[in-house]
Amino acid sequence: LTERDGIGENSMKANETTSGIGMIEGSTYRNKFFSVEYTLPEGYSFYNADQLTAMNSAIIKLHNDQAVLDAFKKGNAFFDMTAVAENNPNVSVVIQIAGSDATIVNEAGYIEAVRGKIIDQLNSTGAAVKSDETGTYTNLKTGDKFTAMKLAIETQGAPLYEEILCIKAGDHFMNVTVTASDEVELDSVLSHLTRIR
């Protein structure tokens, strides 16, 4: 059983600043605060605590949106889980503590608020966003529904698909992002996210 530690520049533990931190047990990431779990697809492995810390530090150095930078610097946003496969599709979980203003924003409102920033950030990396749509992702295996944003991207002449699912709990938001080279693989990787019953 692993509890993430040392997130961002300000280390926090699950019993301190936030109750939004998940746990990894074997091949399953479980976040009771958000009532979701993610079981690794075959061929995937979780990043360890040092790799997550490096990802949080990289966001602080590379992101061009001041609000995002400030959130990561203060520990109000952080990567809680990342898993990758050899052929490079990946899944990651970012937790954001939005504060008291979050009580007036639902998941669809959150997606709409960050939509332009996500597209701008992708375009700034040299990727070309070909299309984006917002709506609901339904896990066909379980029937679980999540508010989502889906993007079709072209990077270095190759297609890439990304879907971002948003889940709210209290004044915390969880963003689950999956990236894959085709839509079938995207859905296959997403299908491992389920509500805890």
What tens digit of pLDDT does each residue of 15-27 get? 334 568 999 999 9
What is the structure's pLDDT at 144?
A: 97
What is the structure's pLDDT at 57?
A: 85
Averaged in consecutive runs of 10 residues, what is the pLDDT profile of the chain (197 residues)?
A: 38 46 95 96 93 86 71 86 85 85 78 90 89 96 97 94 95 94 93 95
pTM: 0.85
At what angle are helices 49-62 and 66-74 packed, to 10 degrees?
150
What is the structure's pLDDT at 146?
A: 98
Place of tokens 């295996």: 141
Helices within the chain (DSSP H only): 49-62, 66-74, 107-124, 183-190
What is the token pair recorded at 171?
């004044």
What is the structure's pLDDT at 4?
A: 42
What is the structure's pLDDT at 173?
A: 93
Contact residues for 102 (Cβ-Cβ < 8 A; gap 6+): 168, 170, 171, 172, 173
What is the structure's pLDDT at 10?
A: 35
What is the structure's pLDDT at 17?
A: 40
Contact residues for 181 (Cβ-Cβ < 8 A; gap 6+): 87, 88, 89, 158, 159, 160, 161
Would you list the DSSP string of 136-148? EEE-TTT--EEEE
Contact residues for 59 (Cβ-Cβ < 8 A; gap 6+): 68, 69, 72, 79
Supply the DSSP symbol for 181: S
